[in-house]
Amino acid sequence: MPSMRKLKIGLIGEGANDVGIADGCGGWRFGTMSDYLKQLLGSQFDLEFIPIKITQKETKALKTAQGLGGRYSKTKFKGSAKKLKYFLMQYQKVDFDVLVFFSDTDKMQGEKSSEIEAKKQYKERKNWIEEGFAVVKTRLNLPCILMMPIRILECWLLGDAEGFEELGCSPQKPQLPKKPEFIWGEVDNPESDYPKHYLKRILKNCDFDSNTYVFKDIVRHNNIDNLRKNSPNSFEQFYQDIEEFKKTLL
């Protein structure tokens, strides 16, 4: 049987639940990004993940939304796309095949929370990041894939009952939301529909903790078709972008 093609994937994310964190012993404890990618690519490629740690402190040091100068001076790197600017400042060349960039969309203070507004916010932030991707692709000849829920990561985790049921957890109190992409509530109210709180209540009723290890188990047992159906705007977009990238490898 022929060996699978090696595929090295650079990962940029936000924290322990997505890209992961350093394990304190010189290694890396991966979050859910690697598990989603294994679901979508692992049957066809031998995957190696390269986490790229960019802290909030480092991006805050980039005080103004400036470009990189020269032909890239008009690229402003707004919002979370500032991580791409920092990445470009640190890397003149890379030894991986594709960059996967995770970002929550989140809702900024004062922004409305309707589905229409959520889609507008998602589109705006997506455009910011794709402007940064254009520079990465040009300077490093590196394909880029965006992994971004319309709200936050927990919305995707609420997108498929099979991920819970395989762990022996049948979501009842509460049941999984019909539109997990758009669920939202007050951050300061643990009984609200804020996705982190909602997920935590489901897991608590199944005697599970709400932590990265459990989230990774949910993703490993997800039915991808269910995620595509239940998160047709953001997860489906991520899925299609992966499919388009795979075509370039054939």
Which tens digit of pLDDT belongs to each residue from 156-215?
999 999 999 999 999 887 899 999 999 999 999 999 999 999 999 999 999 999 999 999
Residue 129: closest CA among 43, 230, 238, 21: 238
pLDDT value, residue 71: 58
pLDDT in tens, 67-82: 565 555 567 789 899 9
Q: Residue 154: what are its φ and ψ, rounded to 5°?
A: -60, -25
pTM of the model: 0.93
Delimit the domains of the chain by residue range: 1-150+233-250, 153-231
Single-letter residue type at 223: N
Task: Beginning with the edge strand found earlier in the chain, give each strand of the sheet holding 98-102 in spatial order.
Answer: 45-51, 5-12, 98-102, 144-147
Full DSSP string of 116-174:
HHHHHHHHHHHHHHHHHHHHHHHHH---EEEE--SS-HHHHHTS-HHHHHTTT----TT
Q: Name 38's Cβ contacts closer than 8 Å, sequence gap at least 6.
A: 47, 220
- What is the rounded CA–CA span in Å between residue 153 and residue 163? 15
State phi, psi for 129 to the nearest 5 degrees. -70, -40
Residues with Cβ within 8 Å of 247's Cβ and at least 6 positions away in sequence, in order, are: none
- Considering the segment(s) 1-150+233-250 as one domain, its CATH architecture is 3-Layer(aba) Sandwich (3.40)
Instruction: Of 152, 147, 157, give the one whose Cα is nearest residue 126.
Output: 147
